[in-house]
Amino acid sequence: MSDTIARVPQQIEPNTEQILTRTTPRRRASAGALLRELVVSLWLPVVLFALWWFVSSTSTSPFFPPLSRILEQWWSEFIIGDSVHHVFSSLQNFALGYVLGALIGIIGGTLLWRYRFLRQGTNPIVYFLYVLPAPALLPAMIALFGIGQTRQVALIAFGAVWPTLLNTLDGMRGIDQVKFDTAKAMRLGPTRTLFSLVFRGASPQIAAGLRASLQVALILMVVTEMVAAKEGIGYFILQAQIVFSSVKVWAGIIMLVIIGTLLNYLFVFIEHRVLSWYYRSRALGNS
Amino acid sequence: MNALRRRSLDLLWPVLAIVVALGLWQLLTASGFFRPDQFPTMSATMVAFTDEFTSAKGWLSVWATLQGWFLGLLIASVLALVIGSALAFNSFAFRSAASVIELFKAIPAIAILPLVTLVLGSTLDMKVFLVAFGIFWPLIIQVIYGVRSMDPTVLDTAKALGVHGARRFLVVTIPSAAPYVATGLRIASASALILAVVAEMIAGADGIGRQILMAQNGGMTSYPRMYAYILMSGALGLTLTGAFFLIERKAMHWHESQRNITSNEEKPAR
């Protein structure tokens, strides 16, 4: 019972795409069907966007300026203006922190899976750090690392570690024992077993953990920039709020929406490339 | 006898680990590896912890955080349940809404915090709105998934028996989707706590987050207090997640997904 560290089932958190593939077995679609699918999935965002545009066009509310002005501001700040460096600063912190956290998570998860005493010993501490709201550590990170970039990267990495670590561990523990016996019978060495059986077998769930870590890292990227920072999208938005410039706040939010969406799509794209064998085998099993 | 010994060993390990971790903390800080302006000693933190949480002051902050957490969670889950199951019943509606939901889910909820602060001020309303907005999108996906994964035979049986309308929703739909919703709620509860703490830390609403930031601003002498509140936020996370976990187990014991877990502990829950 005390060995239940791995029961943090984030893996049953689906996304809409999974719901679609689950209910409609994928067939080779004709061009017409593809077009219809595209129209069905895009009409609502377009309508909402148009609605926002027209309803806000005559708005005089200080908080909800016309969408045209927001987009103008966004264009002049981030496309032709010099606020682009905020975006680069954010992305740099995010990339460093996320990669560091993911690596520590995967390596740590593997070690915990391999050594039972380590798993049992660190169980309560790992669980405590996992449920601890990571932003609460931000002031502590400032005390430890000063107000520079180091503490931003450190906090992003810290938050990104736990979902990946727990899912890695859970995925590895879920591998069928028969496969290990087979590997033994085939006289695979420990290194080959690790790379061609353990990592591969656990990879779908490691991916689920990495996806959850991505969300955490995105949130922490913004939070770290809002406290004692001098650069970044979060800093940009907070500064705009302090001078009550709601148009600038909106422009910053638009930029963040674009960053968040692109990063998510990038992740899904890479995941499908790397795990194409897994999705194919699952699709076969479903139909 | 052997089983008993193993059980007590299983209990011994975690306790030993905590003791070692606390001892290590004390050793590293008291020996000067970490300076007091970087990391307070364990003993000083424990003293601060007892100071804060034997008076009403500390608990009032906990209460303020919990209020934002609870109200946000309540509003988001009711909305997600109603809208989610409505969308799930119609394939066209669901496919149309999917892209919008994915788009909103991709926004880090913190992004809208400055805007919400402008409109609502540093109030409880602000905190509740931020929490509800942040957890609504993952939650509604979970609800749709749960409703759509309903066994078609169950639905057909209900139809044949003439169960429809609100009754079918309450007696058939909700129980079928319940395990997915329960998992979604547990994850949402953790996110809600994070968002509440952030709202307090950055927008200055009352609660644990503000106490942590204030202690940090107070300089070196109040660092033990800062860590006392950080420990408390962790304890809060532990309690809330643990509670959801237990409720999930107790309330869902009849569902096949839970039956599989209890009968075969080593198999993954998928």
Mean pLDDT of A174-194: 85
The pTM of this model reads: 0.83
Cβ contacts of residue A19 below 8 Å, gap of 6+? B94, B98, B141, B144, B145, B148
Tell me if A69 is assigned to some domain. Answer: no
Q: Which of B95, B226, B234 lies at the smallest CB-CB distance from A139?
A: B226
Q: Write out chain A residues lying below 8 Å of B144, CB-based.
A: 16, 19
Tell me if A161 is assigned to some domain. Answer: yes
pLDDT digits (tens, 9 = 90+) for B74-114: 999 999 998 998 888 788 888 888 888 888 888 888 888 88
Find the closest chain A residue to B192 by CA distance.
A133
pLDDT (0 to 100) of residue B263: 42
Find the closest chain A residue to B242 by CA distance.
A131
Residue from A229, A69, A230 nearest A138 by CA? A229
CB-based contact B141 A15, cutoff 8 Å: yes
A287 touches chain B (CB under 8 A): no
Helix axes B56-88, B124-148, angle to 10 degrees: 40
Mean pLDDT of A92-112: 95
Which of A215-219, A274-278, B206-210, B250-254 has the lowest average pLDDT? B250-254
Find the closest chain A residue to B109 by CA distance.
A219
Query: DSSP letters of A94-119?
Result: HHHHHHHHHHHHHHHHHHHHH-HHHH
Q: How far apart (Å, rounded) are the C-alpha atoms in residues B240 and B228?
A: 18
Q: What confidence category does residue A197 fall into, taking pLDDT thresholds of 50, 70 and 90?
A: confident
pLDDT (0 to 100) of residue B140: 92
pLDDT digits (tens, 9 = 90+) for B45-64: 888 898 888 888 889 999 99
B35 touches chain A (CB under 8 A): no
CB-based contact A10 B187, cutoff 8 Å: yes
Tell me if A276 is assigned to some domain. Answer: yes
Most confident of A39-43, A233-237, B11-15, B87-91: A233-237
User: Which of the pair, B12 or B160, is modelled with greater confidence?
Assistant: B160
User: Which of the pair, A20 or B32, is modelled with greater confidence?
Assistant: B32
Taking CA atoms, B157 is separated from A6, A35, B153, B163, in Å, by 37, 36, 6, 9
pLDDT (0 to 100) of residue B219: 78
pLDDT digits (tens, 9 = 90+) for A200-244: 888 989 998 999 899 899 999 999 998 888 889 999 998 888 888
CB-based contact B10 A22, cutoff 8 Å: no
Task: Give me the percent of chain A exceeding a pLDDT of 70.
Answer: 89
pLDDT at A12 over 50: no
pLDDT digits (tens, 9 = 90+) for B221-260: 888 888 899 999 999 998 998 898 888 888 777 765 555 5
CATH class label, B37-263 = mainly alpha
CATH number of the domain to which A158 belongs = 1.10.3720.10
pLDDT at A128 over 70: yes
B126 touches chain A (CB under 8 A): no
ipTM of the complex: 0.80
Mean pLDDT rounded to a whole number for chain A? 84
Our CA-based measurement puts residue A252 at a distance from the nearest CA of chain B, in whole angstroms, of: 8
pLDDT at A28 over 70: no
How many independent structural domains does chain A possess?
1
Mutation target to probe the B interface, by most B beta carbons within 10 A, among A15, A19, A237 is: A19
**What range does the domain containing A157 cover?**
77-286
